[in-house]
């Protein structure tokens, strides 16, 4: 009888351990099991240099969503970025989305200025006012090679 009680104790311990691992996987992996508390919005950018799937979307410094997917619209030669935004956050059709850098060499994120004068964007709506990121490498190369002040016109001596 003692043998079975030891095996039962070990079995219960293993089951509790597996439940803990499953819980941590869901919490740390940001996986939703029951329902989705997010809706999709799209933003059109000319360039998404440095932006990756999973980067945050923020309004006034608070994370309200994430970059879900990026694709190229071949006809218009623009990048379509799909954002997952929390359901309780309202974004209006006059919103502005821009790609920013967290710190000097930090990760990119999307900064959303939610607007307020227009209509609320529904799931699947598109933010049309966007600003692409500043290309730091391009700016540095212009500075190094002396092209900062040039406007494309030939200077006369």
16-34 pLDDT, tens per residue? 999 999 888 877 766 655 5
CB atoms inside a 10 Å sphere around CB 129: 14
Give the integer Cα–Cα distance in Å for 77 and 117.
Answer: 29
> What residue spans define the domains of the chain?
1-31, 38-135
How is residue 12 annotated by DSSP? H
How many residues comprise the chain?
157
Query: Residue 16's pLDDT is what?
Result: 95
Query: Residue 141's pLDDT is what?
Result: 77
The arithmetic mean of pLDDT across residues 78-107, rounded, is: 86
Q: What is the mean pLDDT of the chain?
A: 81
Nearest to 127 by CA among 67, 60, 50: 67
Joined together, the tokens standing for residue 143 give 């500075």
């Amino acid at each position: 009888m003692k043998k079975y009680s030891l095996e039962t104790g070990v079995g219960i311990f293993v089951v509790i351990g597996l439940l803990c691992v499953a819980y941590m996987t869901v919490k740390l992996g940001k996986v939703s099991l029951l329902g989705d508390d997010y809706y999709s919005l799209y933003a059109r950018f000319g360039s998404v240099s440095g932006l990756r799937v999973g980067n945050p979307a923020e309004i006034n410094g608070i994370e309200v969503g994430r970059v879900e997917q990026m694709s190229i619209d071949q006809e218009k030669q623009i990048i379509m970025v799909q954002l997952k935004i929390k359901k309780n956050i309202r974004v209006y059709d006059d919103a502005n989305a821009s790609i920013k850098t967290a710190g000097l060499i930090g990760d990119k994120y999307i900064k959303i200025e939610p607007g307020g004068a227009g209509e609320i964007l529904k799931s699947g709506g598109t933010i049309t006012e966007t600003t692409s990121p500043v290309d730091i490498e391009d700016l540095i190369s212009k500075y190094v090679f002396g092209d900062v002040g040039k406007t494309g016109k030939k200077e006369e001596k």
